[in-house]
């Protein structure tokens, strides 16, 4: 009996020792993974590179781009880098593409130009650490889940991801004295206005959780801006399409999100045979052809508006701008334009309305034309043609071509 107890005790002690060793190894691994210079998350460079990110430098503007691995955020990062800004991307890759980050890293490998930090904006401790270790001059806040239909199915997720996470970013900005914010908002905050086109004075009555969460975030930003000397620009934009004209970046949503995604992505998927056809939801709206009317803005034009907003941001001032073409196009018109751009006779299936959608939304962009000297440069047809070129040469998105 004594012998058996001794063996049991020895075996038990051995298991405890093994567990302790395993825990120690995991802790070391996690610490290394969370370090900014982890080669799995960032391009492998010397620590001297990151010293450049941690200090302000005369003549260099360091911009934090949240959601910079996403469709719009990656295009914004590309433009900022082309314009000689220093950029830090923070993204949790829940919707973004690490492949887009790798493209940007290859384009701008020089020390002190670009770094990528894997983090969730819902983690206040991690966000505060990022701000503490980096000398940001401005924040472009793109990070957000952004599907109207999905927001009606998962409203709490949208309020957490959009509203709560914006609060976390603002708190970090306040703590670390970062005074410039360019906020990526949406026309969904207006809901379904009685009059068209939409101006910045149009009352905001959002009708879905996505629009409501964005409006809440706007309200928090505006209230906070009244208590300090922040420079704030809020851009409410419309339906984004297109891709980088030089073919370096494009739109590549995760396969499981295709059903929720933008109509342009669905059109291209149908043209490539990935899906059997295009589903158009709603043909009984009070519009000329019964389908929704939207204002389609090219992603490079949208990014140009963000960069101009950054250049015009002034301490103690708040600018609110609609970013659109000023021309509404129906879904049926969009489908015909997509057929022309792809050269494919796409099969179309007409279904009932999608929850949370509205009949007609398009902008009146005179304010941004006048104050920021911005206007859309791409037509719907041009944007679709450019995007189709990227889609054809990137059948697997940012995977193997």
Catalytic residues: 210
Indicate the helix (H) or strand (E) that contains 385. helix 380-393
Token readout for 305 is 């508006």
* Residues in the chain, overall count: 401
Q: 3-state class of 279 per DSSP?
A: strand
Query: What is the torsional sign of CA 222, 84, 70, 307?
Result: positive
| Alpha-carbon gap, residue 106 to 108, rounded angstroms | 6
DSSP assignment of 336-378: HHHHHHHT----EEEEPPPTT--SB--B-THHHHHHH------
> Can you read off the two tokens belonging to residue 127?
């966000």
**Alpha helix (H) ranges present in 68-207?**
71-82, 98-107, 124-133, 148-153, 155-158, 165-175
Q: How many CB atoms lie within 10 A of CB 205?
A: 14
- Bridge partners, residue 240, by sequence: 297
CA 327, distance to chain mean position in Å, is 24
**Dmax of the chain from CA atoms?**
92
């Amino acid at each position: 009996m004594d012998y058996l107890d001794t063996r049991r005790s020895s075996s038990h002690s051995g298991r405890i020792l093994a567990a302790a060793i395993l825990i120690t190894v995991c802790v070391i691994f996690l610490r290394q993974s969370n370090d900014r210079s982890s080669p799995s998350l960032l391009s492998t460079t010397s620590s001297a590179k990151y010293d450049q990110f941690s200090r302000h430098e005369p003549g260099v503007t360091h911009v934090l781009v949240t959601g910079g691995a996403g469709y719009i955020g990656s295009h914004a990062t590309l433009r900022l880098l082309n314009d000689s800004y220093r950029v830090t991307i923070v993204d949790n890759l829940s919707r973004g593409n690490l492949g887009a980050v790798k493209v940007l890293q290859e384009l701008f490998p020089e020390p002190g130009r670009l770094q990528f930090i894997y983090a969730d904006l819902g983690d206040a401790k991690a966000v505060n650490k990022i701000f503490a270790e980096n000398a940001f001059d401005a924040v472009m806040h793109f990070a957000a889940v952004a599907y109207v239909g999905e927001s009606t199915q998962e409203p709490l997720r949208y309020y957490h991801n959009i509203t709560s996470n914006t609060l976390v970013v603002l708190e970090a900005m306040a703590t670390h004295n970062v005074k410039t914010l360019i906020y990526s908002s949406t026309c969904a905050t207006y809901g379904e206005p009685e009059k068209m086109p939409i101006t910045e004075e149009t009352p905001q009555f959002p009708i879905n959780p996505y629009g409501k969460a964005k409006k809440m975030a706007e309200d928090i930003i505006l209230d906070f801006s009244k208590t300090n000397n922040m420079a704030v620009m809020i851009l409410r934009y419309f339906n984004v399409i297109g891709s980088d004209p030089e073919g370096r970046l494009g739109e590549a949503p995760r396969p499981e999100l295709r059903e929720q995604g933008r109509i342009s992505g669905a059109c291209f998927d149908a043209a490539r045979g990935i899906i059997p056809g295009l589903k158009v939801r709603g043909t009984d709206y009070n519009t000329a052809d019964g389908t929704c009317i939207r204002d389609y803005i090219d992603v490079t034009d949208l990014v140009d508006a963000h960069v101009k907003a950054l250049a015009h941001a002034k301490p103690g001032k708040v600018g609110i701008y609609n970013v659109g073409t000023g021309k509404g196009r129906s879904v049926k018109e969009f489908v015909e334009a997509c057929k022309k751009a792809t050269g494919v006779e796409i099969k179309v299936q007409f279904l009932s309305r999608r929850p949370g959608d509205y009949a007609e939304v398009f902008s009146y962009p005179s304010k941004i034309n006048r104050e920021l000297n911005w206007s859309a440069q791409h037509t719907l047809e041009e944007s679709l043609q450019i995007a189709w070129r990227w889609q054809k040469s990137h059948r697997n998105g940012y995977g193997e071509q």
